[in-house]
């Protein structure tokens, strides 16, 4: 087996791991109780899944066809930069809209910072 074949297997392995992470992310979105934890599952694990899949695809095409795709590199950079920011902004908008935490949440550390020391009755 030559070095190109090894890199093809590495690329295929990264794509497989990315697919598994995407399934785990989907299960997390379905099973978690509130918008904050769902947002965490949607941004962290699905971003990792997309990055692994795109990196595996880049390595596979580079090894098998000597093709370096600038589109894949731009896709990796775009997802890496925008997905965590989008998840943060969605979660922040939900908190500012006073979407309730789940009943299993034990602490709301941001409430005192944003709204002062008084507790709202909402």
Residue 121: inside a domain, yes or no?
no
pLDDT in tens, the chain (122 residues): 789 899 999 999 999 999 999 999 999 999 999 888 899 888 988 899 999 999 999 999 999 999 999 999 999 999 999 999 999 999 999 988 988 888 887 788 777 787 776 655 55
What b/e string do you get for 100-122 counting C-beta neighbours within 10 Å, with b at 16 or more?
Answer: ebeeeeeeeeeeeeeeeeeeeee
pLDDT computed for residue 115 by the predictor: 76
> Does residue 122 belong to any structural domain of this protein?
no
DSSP character at residue 49 = H
What 8-state DSSP symbol labels residue 44?
Answer: I
Q: How far is Cα 86 from Cα 99, in angstroms, rounded to an integer?
A: 17
Residue-level pLDDT at 28? 92
117 within domain boundaries: no
Instruction: Specify if 109 maps to a domain.
Output: no
Give me the pLDDT at residue 106, please.
Answer: 78
CA distance 93 to 5: 47
Placement of tokens 């939900």 in the chain: 94
Segments forming the whole domain that contains residue 49: 3-100
pLDDT at 119: 55
114, part of any domain: no
Q: How many structural domains compose the chain?
A: 1
Q: What is the pLDDT of residue 109?
A: 78
Query: Is 74 inside any structural domain?
Result: yes
Considering the domain boundaries, does residue 70 fall inside one? yes
Q: Which residues of 46-70 are buried (b: 16+ CB within 10 A; e: fewer)?
A: bbbbbbbbbbbbbbbbbbeeeeeee
- pTM passes above 0.95: no
């Amino acid at each position: 087996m030559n070095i190109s074949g090894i890199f093809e297997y590495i690329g295929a392995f990264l794509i497989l791991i990315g697919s598994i992470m995407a399934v785990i992310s989907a299960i997390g979105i379905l099973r978690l109780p509130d918008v904050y934890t769902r947002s965490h599952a949607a941004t962290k694990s699905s971003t990792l899944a997309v990055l692994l899949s795109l990196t595996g695809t880049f390595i596979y095409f580079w090894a098998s066809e000597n093709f370096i795709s600038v589109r894949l590199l731009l896709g990796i950079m775009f997802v890496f930069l925008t997905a965590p920011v989008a998840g943060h902004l969605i979660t922040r908008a939900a908190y500012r809209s006073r979407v309730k935490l789940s009943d299993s949440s034990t602490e709301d550390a941001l409430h005192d910072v944003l709204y002062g020391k008084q507790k709202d009755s909402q």
